[in-house]
Amino acid sequence: MVTEGGVEQRARIRLLIADDQALVRGALAALLELEDDLEVVGTAADGAQAVREARALAPDVCLMDVQMPDVDGVEATCRVVEASPQTRVLIVTTFARPGYLRSALDAGASGFIVKDTPAERLADAVRRVHSGLRVLDPTLAEESLFDGANPLSERERQVLRLAADGRTAGAIAGEIYLSQGTVRNLLSAAIGKTGAQNRAQAARIAGDKGWI
C-alpha cells in the first residue's frame, strides 16, 4: 500500500507487453494504462527481448503473444518464468488453438485469452492472474479437453514444421542431420497420429490444433 495525502492507495500492477506487432503493443498499452491500478513498464517485440526485459524489470505480469520470430511465446514463457519467478505470464493471442493453450500452461503460463477479448475483461484477467488465479478462455479450455494432449513427439513436430514449408524428405534430412528413412518414418508416424492423408494435410491439421 502507498499513502498519498492521507489516503491509502493500492500499488499499481506493473506490466510487460510482448508482441511482434508494434500496433498491437501500442494498443494494448494504451488500453491498460487507462486503468488506475495498471502500469505498463516495458514492451518487447519478440520472445528473446521479453525474457531480457522480464529479467531487468521484474514485472508483475507479462502479456505474451504466441507467434513471434526466433523465440515464440511458449518458449519465451518458460524462460520468463525462470528469469523472473515472481512474474506471471498471461498469453494474449489471435491464435485460438487448444494445442497452444496446453503448451502455454505446460510452459508455466497463468492465463490464456484471445485478442478480441473486451478491454474490461482483459484488465480483469490481468488482475486475476496477478492475484494468483488461473484465467482461461472458456471455449478453448473446453476444446482442449476433447482434443486431448499433443500426440506428436518433438522430432515429429520438427519434421512436420519443415514439411509444411514444402521441403522434401531429403531436404529435411539434410537440415536436421537424420537419414531420409528416419525422416520418412517420422512423417508417416505424424500422418497416422493426425489422421491425415498426407504430410501436407498432417502439417495443416497439426497447425490448426496448435501442435506445431
- The dihedral region occupied by 194, where left means phi > 0, alpha psi between -120 and 50, and beta the remainder, is alpha
Q: Matching CATH topology for 2-146 and 154-208?
A: no
Task: Please say whether the beta carbons of 173 and 182 come within 8 A.
Answer: yes
**CATH code for the domain defined by 2-146:** 3.40.50.2300
Q: What sign results for the dihedral spanned by CA atoms 154, 157, 159, 161? A: negative
pLDDT in tens, 75-125: 999 999 999 999 999 999 887 777 778 888 889 999 999 888 888 999 999
Residue 65 half-sphere exposure toward CB, CA atoms < 13 A = 25
Q: Where are the alpha helices (DSSP H) in 96-198?
A: 98-107, 119-130, 138-147, 154-163, 169-176, 180-194
Instruction: Pick 6 or 182 by higher pLDDT.
Output: 182
Residue range 5-34: average pLDDT?
87
Lowest mean pLDDT among 1-15, 16-30, 152-166: 1-15
- Rounded Cα distance between 40 and 15, Å, is 5
pLDDT of residue 126: 96
pLDDT in tens, 46-77: 999 999 999 999 999 999 999 898 899 999 99
- What are the sequence ranges of the domains in the chain? 2-146, 154-208
φ and ψ at 45, to 5 degrees?
A: -95, -5
Task: Please say whether the beta carbons of 15 and 39 come within 8 A.
Answer: yes
DSSP 71: S
- Rounded Cα distance between 179 and 185, Å, is 10
Q: How many angstroms from the chain centroid is the CA of residue 207?
A: 14
* Residue whose entry in the numeric block shows the C-alpha cell 503493443: 25
State the CATH architecture for 154-208.
Answer: Orthogonal Bundle (1.10)
pLDDT higher than 70, residue 9: no
- Rounded Cα distance between 188 and 159, Å, is 10
